[in-house]
Structure 1
Amino acid sequence: MATRDFHLSYTVYDSVDALPSEDAALMRAALDATRLSYAPYSRFRVGAAARMQSGAIVSGSNQENASYPVGICAERTLLSVASTLYPGEPIDTLAVTAAGSREPISPCGICRQSLLEFQGRTGRPLRLLMGGEFGPVWVVEDARGLLPLAFTTDNLLP
């Protein structure tokens, strides 16, 4: 029998203003994306912005639906846009935030799985910035850290 531990290392910045300028701009782009959110039911407006490996910026926002399961989170909207506009290109850094939030928000479980799958497809770690409109920002260098014991393509039978 063996006991193993999971450890997640992340950096905490006091605010968006404390981030390096390139990351602060990305967080502001994610906040701008919240304006495109369609969230009449939850009123939880989430925006995401990513800097592609080429330097291009892509954004997405959550899109709710009266039939709740068919809504889509900001992160998955962004991944769809990125993989359509820049097929095969890795994301360098992805920022996610919510309008009005004073606490960092992190991707939900299905988004964590989607981020990990995207990272696996491109073969490059996906760096995450997670914040609210106000307050601290958490930085994780590899999306894999958010989903220990993940189900991946390696688990699929041949």
Structure 2
Amino acid sequence: MKKIRIEAILEVFESLQEVELEVQQLMKQAMEARDKAYAPYSEFLVGAAILLANGEVVTGNNQENASYPSGLCAERTAIYYAGANFPKVPIQKMALTARSLKYQLVKPVPPCGACRQAIAEYEQHQQEAIEIYFMGEAGKVVKASSLADLLPLSFDSSYL
């Protein structure tokens, strides 16, 4: 038997003001998208903003449905839009933010498992890391330099 160690290094900023200006602006766009989310059931609003290599910014937010599996997370809404409209343009950065209508959310909220897998597919396809910044509605901001830091043993097409 052999044991392996898997480690991830994440950067934690005390507030949004500590990150570079470009990321602050991207996060503000994610906040604007978040505040337009359709989340009448969970009252948990999520916004995503994606910076593409051509300078375009694509946003998305969570869209719920009374038939719960039919909804879609903000991250996948944005990344699928980017893939559909800019199929050959690499994704450079992604900013994510969430807030609850029930309480103040200051803990950074990372992508769910399904979104991690979707982001992994794009990162693997473009063969370039995607920087991911995530936060609650206020407080600390966490940066992962690559989706691989959040999902180190991802499933990809090599298994098919």
TM range (shorter): over 0.9
CA contact (8 A) 1:14 1:135 kept: yes
Q: Specify every segment of 5 or more residues in structure 1 that has no aligned partner in the other structure, as ranges.
A: none
- The corresponding residue for 2:105 is 101
CA distance in 1, matches of 2:86, 2:154: 26
CA contact (8 A) 2:10 2:149 kept: no
The alignment of Structure 1 onto Structure 2 pairs a total of residues equal to: 156
How large is the Cα RMSD of the aligned pairs? 0.9
Q: Trace 1:41-60 onto structure 2 (pairs within 5 A).
A: 41-60=41-60
TM-score under structure 2 normalisation? 0.94
Letter in 1 for 2:90: P
Distance apart, 1:101 and its partner CA = 2.1
SS in 1 for 2:44: coil
Q: Say whether 1:124 aligns with 2:97.
A: no
CA distance in 2, matches of 1:91, 1:131: 19
CA distance in 1, matches of 2:11, 2:87: 30
Q: Trace 1:7-156 onto structure 2 (pairs within 5 A).
A: 7-99=7-99, 100-156=104-160
Q: Specify every segment of 5 or more residues in structure 2 that has no aligned partner in the other structure, as ranges.
A: none
CA contact (8 A) 1:88 1:121 kept: no
Letter in 1 for 2:69: P
SS in 1 for 2:54: coil
TM-score under structure 1 normalisation? 0.96
CA contact (8 A) 1:64 1:71 kept: yes
